[in-house]
C-alpha cells in the first residue's frame, strides 16, 4: 500500500525543501540535525510541513538520536553541513556495521567554493571510508526522488545511507514533480533484541564488518543493474562520466557528448562505468571537488581522463566545465570583489571586539557571526579551526606561551557553538588549568545567528520556538568548578565590560565571562517567542 500523497502539483522549490517534502511523504518519524549552511532549511521546512523536527546540540548527538529511531523501527532523517559529518563521524563509522530496523538517511551538504564554510571537504570520501551507500542528487527533483530511494535502500539493506547535497543543489530552486515514486508505508516501531547486530563489542563487530562488506557488494550489484544512474547516449567520440550538479553544466556545455550520470556514487557501478568508457573514443570525468570518481575508475583499471588540478578548487560552473573540456588551464579572470559581509551596525559583538582589541588580547576564536571580528576594523580574532576549537586552542596557547603573552589569551565562542562543542573544552580547562589561568568569553546573543536565527539548548526553545528545558551557561560553568563566572551586557557600559575582562586577565585563575545581549536581527522575534511562551497554556 502506498502512503497518502499530498496534492500532486508541480512546484518550484529548493533542494532542501524537496528533501523535506520527500521525508514527509515517507512518514519520517523524526528529523534531527544541527543548523549549517547550506543544509539548515531541510529541517525548518520539514517542521513547517508538519514533521517532527529537532535541533540537536551537535551533529554527533543528532546522528545518535537518528540511530535510535532506526533501531526502534522508525524512519529517521539527520541533516548537517559537510563539516558536521566530521563531528558525527564516530557514530557513522560504526552504525555502518549494525543492522537497522527502520531507515536512517544522513544528509551531508557540501560547500565547494566555501560560500560559508571553513573548508571544502568532499563528503564522498566519507561514504567510501565508512562503507555507507551515498546518493548524489543534481537538482531538486532528484533531491526529492533520491531521498525516497535512500529511505528504501536503507530499509532494504538495513543500513544507514548518505545523501550528499552541495550548495547549488540545496539552494537552487528548480521544478519538482511529486508522485514520481511511491514508497511503502513505514512499519510500526518496535524493538527486537539483536545483540550481535547492535552491540559492537569486538566479538560481534568482527562478523558485523564482514556482513557490511557483503551488503555493500550486493548494493554495488544492484547499482549496476537498477541504480539511479542515467545514460544519455549521443555521439561516440566523447563520453562524460559525472554526478551531482556538474551533470547540469555538462548537459549545457556538451549536448553532443554521451553522458553517464551517476546517482548512487558509493558503491559505484564500476562495470557500467567500464562499459561506458569502452563505448566512446575519449572518456572524461567531470566532477565537482575531489577526484573521487576518477580515482575509483582508474583503480578499477578503467581508462578515463579527469579534470585538471586547478578545477579541484572552488565550485564548477558552465564556464569552468567548458575549460575542462578544452583542456584550458590558463588563469581564470578574478571576479570583481563585492562588499564583504560585516558585523551589523549595533551588533553586540562590536563592543566585545572593540574591548578585546584595545586590551591587545590574543584571541583564539570560533565559528559564527562573530568570526567576522577577524576583519577590519577589529582584526580581533587570531585563530579559527572548527566548532568549539577556540577553547582548546586557547588552553594550548596558554600552556605554551611565555607568561606575559599567555596572560593575554582570551577564548571567544558563541552561544550555540558553546553548546555544540565548547562544553568539553570547559571541562578540559577545569581539569588541566594553565598556570596563568584562562578566560573564556561566551558571546551569548540568544540565537544561532549566522545560519539564520535557529534555536539551541541555551535559548530554552525548541526548533519551532516552543518553550523547553534551558541550559544556563553560568550555572553550568559554576557546576564544573570554574571559580570566576560573570554575566554582563557588553553594550550597556563598555568601560565596565573592559574593566571586567581586564580583571579576569590579571588573575591567574579560570574565568568564564558570558557577554549576553540578544542579536539585533533576532531580538524582536525573541521577544515575541517569549511573550507567546509566557501565556498560560492550560
Per 3-state DSSP, the chain is made up of helix, strand and coil in percentages (nearest 5) of 40, 20, 40
ω into residue 417 within 30 of 0, thus cis?
no
CB of 256 to another protein, least distance (A): 12
- Using the rule CB under 8 A, which residue among 54, 94, 118, 174 binds another protein? 174
| Interatomic CA distance for residues 175 and 163, integer angstroms | 20
Taken in order 371, 110, 34, 521, is the CA torsion positive or negative?
Answer: positive
Cβ distance to another protein smaller for residue 342 or 476: 342
CB of 350 to another protein, least distance (A): 12
Size of the site for another protein (CB under 8 A): 38
Residue 115 interacts with another protein (CB under 8 A): yes or no: yes
Residue with cell 502506498: 2
Cβ distance to another protein smaller for residue 193 or 339: 339
Report the run of H or E that residue 110 belongs to, with start and end: strand 103-110
Residues in 310-369 at the binding interface with another protein, rule: CB under 8 A: 317-319, 333, 335-344, 369
The crossing angle, in degrees rounded to 10, of helices 15-25 and 140-157 is 40
DSSP strand pairing (264-266 vs 134-135): antiparallel
Nearest to 496 by CA among 484, 486, 509, 483: 486
The set of residues, in sequence order, having a beta carbon less than 8 Å from that of 142 and lying 6+ positions away, is 169, 228, 263
Residues in 457-516 at the binding interface with another protein, rule: CB under 8 A: none
Cβ distance to another protein smaller for residue 81 or 164: 81
Cβ distance to another protein smaller for residue 136 or 155: 136
- Using the rule CB under 8 A, which residue among 97, 135, 146, 249 binds another protein? 249
Residue 245 interacts with another protein (CB under 8 A): yes or no: yes
- Using the rule CB under 8 A, which residue among 60, 251, 350, 517 binds another protein? 251
CB of 314 to another protein, least distance (A): 12
Residues in 152-171 at the binding interface with another protein, rule: CB under 8 A: 167-168, 171
Q: Are 402 and 353 in contact (CB under 8 A)?
A: no
Q: Considering only 126-134, 173-181, 185-193, 483-491, which stretch makes contact with another protein by CB under 8 A?
A: 173-181
Residue 372 interacts with another protein (CB under 8 A): yes or no: yes
- Using the rule CB under 8 A, which residue among 94, 116, 118, 279 binds another protein? 116
Beta bridge partners of 230: 261
Cβ distance to another protein smaller for residue 94 or 116: 116
The crossing angle, in degrees rounded to 10, of helices 270-279 and 292-299 is 90
Cβ distance to another protein smaller for residue 97 or 144: 144
The crossing angle, in degrees rounded to 10, of helices 494-506 and 348-358 is 50
Site residues for another protein per CB under 8 A: 12, 37-38, 115-116, 139, 167-168, 171-175, 245, 248-249, 251-252, 317-319, 333, 335-344, 369, 372, 450-452, 521
Amino acid at each position: 500500500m502506498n502512503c497518502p500523497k499530498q496534492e500532486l502539483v508541480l512546484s518550484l522549490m529548493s533542494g532542501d525543501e524537496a528533501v523535506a517534502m520527500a521525508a514527509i511523504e515517507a512518514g519520517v518519524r523524526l528529523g534531527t540535525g544541527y543548523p549549517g549552511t547550506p543544509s539548515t532549511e531541510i529541517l525548518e521546512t520539514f517542521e513547517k510541513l508538519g514533521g517532527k523536527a529537532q535541533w540537536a546540540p551537535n551533529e554527533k548527538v543528532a546522528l545518535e538520536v537518528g540511530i535510535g529511531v532506526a533501531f526502534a523501527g522508525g524512519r529517521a532523517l539527520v541533516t548537517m553541513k559537510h563539516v558536521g559529518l566530521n563531528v558525527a563521524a564516530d557514530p557513522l563509522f560504526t552504525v555502518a556495521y549494525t543492522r537497522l530496523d527502520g531507515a536512517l538517511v544522513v544528509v551531508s551538504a557540501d560547500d565547494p567554493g566555501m560560500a560559508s564554510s571553513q573548508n571544502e571537504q568532499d563528503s564522498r570520501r566519507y561514504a567510501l571510508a565508512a562503507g555507507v551507500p551515498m546518493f548524489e542528487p543534481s537538482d531538486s527533483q532528484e533531491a526529492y526522488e533520491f531521498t525516497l530511494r535512500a529511505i528504501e535502500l536503507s530499509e532494504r539493506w538495513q543500513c544507514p545511507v548518505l545523501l550528499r547535497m552541495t550548495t547549488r543543489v540545496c539552494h537552487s530552486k528548480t521544478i519538482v514533480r511529486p508522485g514520481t515514486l511511491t514508497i511503502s508505508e513505514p512499519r510500526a516501531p518496535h524493538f527486537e533484541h539483536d545483540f550481535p547486530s547492535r552491540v559492537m563489542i569486538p566479538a560481534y563487530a568482527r562478523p558485523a564488518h564482514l556482513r557490511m562488506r557483503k551488503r555493500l557488494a550486493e548494493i554495488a550489484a544492484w547499482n549496476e543493474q537498477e541504480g539511479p544512474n542515467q545514460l544519455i547516449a549521443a555521439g561516440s567520440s566523447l563520453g562524460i562520466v559525472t554526478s551531482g550538479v556538474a551533470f547540469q553544466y555538462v548537459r549545457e556545455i556538451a549536448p553532443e557528448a554521451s553522458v553517464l550520470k551517476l546517482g548512487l556514487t558509493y558503491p559505484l557501478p564500476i562495470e557500467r562505468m567500464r562499459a561506458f568508457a569502452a563505448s566512446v573514443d575519449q572518456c572524461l570525468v567531470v566532477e565537482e571537488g575531489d577526484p573521487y570518481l576518477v580515482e575509483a575508475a582508474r583503480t578499477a583499471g578503467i581508462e578515463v581522463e579527469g579534470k585538471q588540478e586547478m578545477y579541484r578548487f572552488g565550485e564548477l560552473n558552465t564556464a569552468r566545465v567548458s575549460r575542462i573540456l578544452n583542456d584550458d588551464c590558463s588563469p581564470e579572470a578574478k571576479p570583481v570583489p563585492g562588499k564583504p559581509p560585516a558585523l551589523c551596525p549595533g551588533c553586540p559583538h562590536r563592543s566585545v571586539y572593540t574591548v578585546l582589541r584595545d586590551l591587545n588580547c590574543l584571541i583564539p576564536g570560533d565559528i559564527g557571526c562573530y568570526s567576522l571580528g577577524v576583519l577590519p576594523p577589529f582584526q580581533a580574532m587570531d585563530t579559527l579551526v572548527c566548532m568549539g576549537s577556540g577553547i582548546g586552542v586557547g588552553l594550548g596557547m596558554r600552556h605554551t606561551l611565555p607568561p606575559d603573552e599567555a596572560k593575554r589569551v582570551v577564548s571567544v565562542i558563541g552561544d550555540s557553538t558553546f553548546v555544540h562543542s565548547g562544553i568539553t573544552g570547559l571541562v578540559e580547562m577545569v581539569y588541566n588549568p594553565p598556570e596563568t589561568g584562562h578566560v573564556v568569553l561566551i558571546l551569548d546573543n540568544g540565537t544561532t545567528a549566522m545560519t539564520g536565527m535557529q534555536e539551541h539548548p541555551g535559548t530554552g526553545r525548541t526548533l519551532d520556538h516552543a518553550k523547553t528545558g534551558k541550559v544556563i551557561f553560568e550555572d553550568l560553568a559554576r557546576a564544573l568548578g570554574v571559580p570566576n563566572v560573570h554575566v554582563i551586557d557588553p553594550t550597556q557600559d563598555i568601560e565596565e565590560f573592559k574593566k571586567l575582562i581586564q580583571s579576569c586577565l590579571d588573575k591567574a585563575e579560570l574565568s568564564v565571562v558570558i557577554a549576553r545581549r540578544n542579536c539585533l536581527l533576532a531580538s524582536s522575534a525573541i521577544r515575541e517567542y517569549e511573550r507567546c511562551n509566557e501565556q498560560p497554556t492550560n
